[in-house]
Structure 1
Amino acid sequence: MTTSAIPANAPGPSGASGRPAPPAAPEAAAEPGPGGVATRLDSLERLVRYGTGRLDRDLIDDAGKLLDRAGQRLRLSGDHTVVTLAGGTGSGKSSLFNAVCGLELSPTGMRRPMTSKAHACVWGLDGAGPLLDWLDVDKRHRYARASALDLDRADSSLHGLVLIDLPDHDSIQAVHRAEVDRFVTIADLLVWVVDPQKYADAALHRNYIVPFARHAGVTLIVLNQVDRLQSFEIDDCVADLRRLLEAEGLADPRIVTTSAVSERGVRGLRDVLVDTVAARRARGERLDVDIDRVAERLAALRGPAEPPSGIGADRRAELVQALTDAAGAPAVAEAMESAYELRAADFVGWPVSALVTRLRSDPLRRMRLTELREELRNAFTGPIGAQQGDVDTALQGVTDGVTGDLPEPWARSVRAAARSHAGELPEALGASLMDALPTFNQVPGWWWLVKTWQYFLVLVSGLGALWIALLLIYAVVGADGPGALLGETGLIPYVLILVVCTLGMGALTSSACRNLVALSSAKHGQRMETHMRERIEQIADEKVLEPVAAELDRYAHFRSEAANLLG
């Protein structure tokens, strides 16, 4: 049998580093598992994307590491099956490694430790170089069964096998244990070598058997050194070992017995290796189990009930009302009614009454509060914005109706989505109200008509009063007027009646118009409040309800993807 060191430039696919996405390689499509390994990895990648920033960081990191490792493994040779021989000191794994390889490639002995570096033997060179680089096997400890003579021998049945002898898992050197820990997470087939004396070793079972109990399909237990036992003792040891493994969760464990001292002692192990290499399913089965473990942890964070699509109509109405109150829209509408009436008074009011009012002492003017009245009259710009405290109060409980059935991480993310724009809401509410307010630059046409009519009546009243004054003057001085209209004092009662009628008509006109203004101002305020509410509804949808709906949609996709991943 011939062996050779694998050259550094052995042919094979390139690019085994970095963080590649799981490729949809043709060979991966035939891997075990629902939809193929590549499809399941794509689904897992989407789950990680949905859960990032929402679920436990350690869980997301574990899933990300699996995607890294699986993506790299799928890019490498699918014609090779990586099998690791792991065990404790004195279990004889290096002797088994040499027996399977047919040469003394790995040092053997009972001293601690003996194997300090992973040794690899490869049957079939094509594509093995990049794979061994990814496995980080030192080039000095790589060997190949690749001679032309081997193709005509029994070794050809192992073509595609990458057999790795690991350091002792119970080594006193931490670096050796770290090497074992690394390989057991990336090997396609895990072979644990135990001996009759230490097959119940607590370190092995606690650190490796129990944590990897789900990997029973890609785990093989080898009871070595059975040449030291009687035939009935072998059966007893195998039965006790099986009982122990099943008690620790390793379902239907595969156990073979070996002895490296006889030529036929490794036949059972060799048959398993031949079947594993021929099936070429170990890689996919290992990844399937790893995906299942992470998928179940992720799927545990999905609730049993289908999530709602968004906030209900009742809750939405409550939110809009709360934001409307926080923005002060009712007060603004009321102020607009008052401003409307005050502004109308400048047009439809009776000028004589306004003049009398100006001549009287104004308590507001004495109290220096006329500016307040002027501000109300010119209230065109609206509010600056709602107070942050009022907005925070409005947002409280807005998601209570949709988070009750959600797992806590997702309920927390939905609540955070509802408050994601809380800092922007006060300014947005203020801006929306300002946009809704009228400019008041345009005055209704009938106001101008009434104002013209009122000043016409004032003019008539003034002329009448002047007429009466002239009649009285001419009557007192006894002079004849320039005409009958000024010299005839008998006209005074009639002119006086005319003045009184015009004054009364002006007062009646002002009173009637004020009633009309009051009615129209109420409608004006209602229209204003409705318009402002519509703007506030747009803000509520954009800043609160749509982020919540998007988060609920994200959770719904997470639930669906988790169900698909678990099959």
Structure 2
Amino acid sequence: MTTSAIPANAPGPADTPAIPATETAGGVAHRLDSLERVIQYGTGRLDKDLLDEAGSLLDRAGQRLRLSGDHTVVTLAGGTGSGKSSLFNAVCGLELSPTGMRRPMTSKAHACVWGLDGAGPLLDWLDVDKRHRYARASALDLERADSSLHGLVLIDLPDHDSIQAVHRAEVDRFVGIADLLVWVVDPQKYADAALHRNYIVPFARHAAVTLIVLNQVDRLQSFEVDDCVDDLRRLLEAEGLADPHIVTTSAISERGVRGLRDVLVDTVSARRARGTRLEADIDHVAERLATVRGPAEPPSGVGADRRTELVQALTDAAGAPAVAEAMESAYELRATDFVGWPVNALVTRLRSDPLRRMRLTELREELRNAFTGPVGAQQGDIDTALLAVTDGITAGLPEPWARSVRTSARSHAGELPEALGASLMDALPTFNQIPGWWWLVKTWQYFLVLVSALGALWIALLLVYGVVGGDSNSLLGETGLIPYVLVLVVCTLGMGVLTWAACRNLVALSSAKHGQRMETHMRERIERIADEKVLEPVAAELDRYAHYRSEITTLLAR
């Protein structure tokens, strides 16, 4: 049985064996894929420290799975005077790690490897100094011919209670990556608060890859050993370490470490410690991530009722009803200019009605400037509408996801006023769009005016010829025609008035329909804006959360 330092040119990554199928198919690798997707879905939404912890585990697990699966990394950790270095030497069979009672004794991690193939890259990843790497050329357990420590990487760590911060950091690093954690305690300090507070309690769910070694039992009577083991077990179970595995050892005799060797041989031969450790790490992170998963399935999007409320709120915020009403009034006034009785229009102009001119001018200016001025005043109404649309769907979501849904609803809040204004401008027709029947009525009205004017001129001529005594045989001299011509003029004037009366009712109906049509067109454009800039981002965020919940379920399943 020989011991030698591991050469610097130990087998590299190309010699590293593939990941065993038992750890990949439906196992650790599958859960790590789910963890990666959970991190992707949670980025920007969940607590950064939690995501960093999950990301660190993902990187560490991926690196460990790419390294040797034939080796099991076992750390011997403990406090000053617990005898872990003595146990390390006893298992190795040689004095490889310095021992003593002074604080600290072991200042650097020492590693002893059984089986060199693939160990070099693993020890590089563990960052064990090449000066403290050793290799065993044969198995130690000579009494069990069917057992072997081949594949064991045994590491002796500095004291976890060292006064040197760098030593404690070294312990913390190895405790986070070892396949099997072996905590060495002695009968006097097995209840050490630092050990239990900093390591036992935080790693309580790693019971399957945690071994408690009560060392130096040679200092106790046989009945005292049982009492210590029972008290230690009670303490560990009270701190959450389920069914703790405890072995007793004494480094002063060969038989004193047999129980520890047996555990190491069984662990190495099973080759499950690596996967079990990673499973425990994943379980720990998964349970923390699961606290940000609500119990109920999230809605797929905003419901029809809330969509209608949002569209209505945005319609009101954009002033679409007022614009439609203004367009209706402008339509009616412009129609009056075309189909009204020209005589009435002439009388109105002669009376110079300032109110009517002012009304039409103000409407024209209002429509011209409705969407070219500042729109900041609408932002408050828009913000209220955006807040209301998410109230119902965020009630059952965890706060980080509820916050992200609300944020998604407001992701385009700054763009909405301008977009709403643009949509209304697109819906407005120009004043030059005049229905054809307006021209027909206008032509008919002016024809009647022309006939009435000619009739009035004829009457005037008849009167003049009658006074001056013109040729009685001509039409101009027949004063008896005056009543008939007068009837013609009255009839044409009456027809003009009747035509305007009929058209006025038609204009009222047309203007109302015009206003409704305008409001419908504006509402359709506002609906598209609401879908694109509010509802679709919210639905995408809810879909992201649904995928997060699904991946968490996969992550929690073994």
TM-score range normalised by the length of the shorter chain: over 0.9
Decide whether aligned partners of structure 1 residues 549 and 370 sit closer, same or farther in structure 2, where only a CA change above 3 A counts: closer
- Alpha-carbon offset, residue 231 of structure 1: 2.0
Q: Is the 8 A contact 2:310 2:385 kept in 1?
A: yes
- Alpha-carbon offset, residue 436 of structure 1: 2.2
Aligned to 1:29: none
- Alpha-carbon offset, residue 474 of structure 1: 2.3
Q: Is the 8 A contact 1:327 1:386 kept in 2?
A: no
The CA deviation string for residues 167-225 of structure 1, in whole angstroms up to 9 with x for no partner, is 01111111101100111010000001111221111111111111111111101111111
Decide whether aligned partners of structure 1 residues 288 and 343 sit closer, same or farther in structure 2, where only a CA change above 3 A counts: same
The CA deviation string for residues 529-549 of structure 1, in whole angstroms up to 9 with x for no partner, is 222222222221222222222
The CA deviation string for residues 113-171 of structure 1, in whole angstroms up to 9 with x for no partner, is 11000011111111111111111111111111147999999798111111100001111
Decide whether aligned partners of structure 1 residues 263 and 383 sit closer, same or farther in structure 2, where only a CA change above 3 A counts: closer
- Alpha-carbon offset, residue 418 of structure 1: 1.6
Q: Is the 8 A contact 1:298 1:562 kept in 2?
A: yes
The CA deviation string for residues 467-501 of structure 1, in whole angstroms up to 9 with x for no partner, is 22222222233333xx6111222222222222222
- Alpha-carbon offset, residue 363 of structure 1: 2.5
The CA deviation string for residues 283-306 of structure 1, in whole angstroms up to 9 with x for no partner, is 111111111111111112222222
Query: Distance in 2 between the 1:382 and 1:263 partners?
Result: 93
Q: Is the 8 A contact 1:80 1:160 kept in 2?
A: yes
Aligned to 2:528: 538
Decide whether aligned partners of structure 1 residues 384 and 127 sit closer, same or farther in structure 2, where only a CA change above 3 A counts: same
Q: Is the 8 A contact 1:382 1:434 kept in 2?
A: no
TM-score, with structure 1 as normaliser: 0.91
Query: Distance in 2 between the 1:107 and 1:359 partners?
Result: 119
- Alpha-carbon offset, residue 233 of structure 1: 2.0
Decide whether aligned partners of structure 1 residues 37 and 24 sit closer, same or farther in structure 2, where only a CA change above 3 A counts: farther
- Alpha-carbon offset, residue 88 of structure 1: 0.8
The CA deviation string for residues 28-56 of structure 1, in whole angstroms up to 9 with x for no partner, is xxxxxxx3001111111111222221122
Are 2:300 and 1:309 equivalent residues in the alignment? yes
Query: Distance in 2 between the 1:428 and 1:250 partners?
Result: 60
- Alpha-carbon offset, residue 338 of structure 1: 1.2
Which runs of no fewer than 5 residues in structure 1 stay unpaired? 14-21, 27-34
Q: Is the 8 A contact 1:95 1:260 kept in 2?
A: yes
271-280 or 557-566, which deviates more: 557-566
Q: Is the 8 A contact 1:339 1:377 kept in 2?
A: no
Decide whether aligned partners of structure 1 residues 152 and 210 sit closer, same or farther in structure 2, where only a CA change above 3 A counts: closer
Q: Is the 8 A contact 1:83 1:161 kept in 2?
A: yes
- Alpha-carbon offset, residue 437 of structure 1: 2.4
* Structure 1 vs Structure 2 CA RMSD: 2.8
- Alpha-carbon offset, residue 441 of structure 1: 3.3
Q: Is the 8 A contact 2:449 2:493 kept in 1?
A: yes
Q: Is the 8 A contact 1:23 1:74 kept in 2?
A: no
Q: Is the 8 A contact 2:371 2:421 kept in 1?
A: no
Q: Is the 8 A contact 1:380 1:438 kept in 2?
A: no
The CA deviation string for residues 79-98 of structure 1, in whole angstroms up to 9 with x for no partner, is 11000000111111111111
TM-score, with structure 2 as normaliser: 0.92
Q: Is the 8 A contact 2:147 2:265 kept in 1?
A: no
Query: Distance in 2 between the 1:444 and 1:241 partners?
Result: 97
Q: Is the 8 A contact 1:339 1:379 kept in 2?
A: no
Secondary structure of 1:387's aligned partner = helix
Q: Is the 8 A contact 2:330 2:360 kept in 1?
A: no
- Alpha-carbon offset, residue 438 of structure 1: 2.6
Which runs of no fewer than 5 residues in structure 2 stay unpaired? 21-25
The CA deviation string for residues 300-324 of structure 1, in whole angstroms up to 9 with x for no partner, is 2222222222222222211111111
Decide whether aligned partners of structure 1 residues 380 and 253 sit closer, same or farther in structure 2, where only a CA change above 3 A counts: closer
Aligned to 2:366: 375
> What is the aligned length?
549
93-102 or 435-444, which deviates more: 435-444
- Alpha-carbon offset, residue 352 of structure 1: 1.7
Decide whether aligned partners of structure 1 residues 23 and 263 sit closer, same or farther in structure 2, where only a CA change above 3 A counts: closer
Give me the identity figure in percent: 90
Decide whether aligned partners of structure 1 residues 526 and 5 sit closer, same or farther in structure 2, where only a CA change above 3 A counts: same
Query: Distance in 1 between the 2:140 and 2:231 partners?
Result: 43
Q: Is the 8 A contact 2:88 2:97 kept in 1?
A: yes
Secondary structure of 2:5's aligned partner = coil
- Alpha-carbon offset, residue 275 of structure 1: 0.5
Q: Is the 8 A contact 2:158 2:167 kept in 1?
A: yes
Determine which of 407, 420, 424 is the counterpart of 1:416: 407
Decide whether aligned partners of structure 1 residues 350 and 385 sit closer, same or farther in structure 2, where only a CA change above 3 A counts: farther
Secondary structure of 2:155's aligned partner = strand
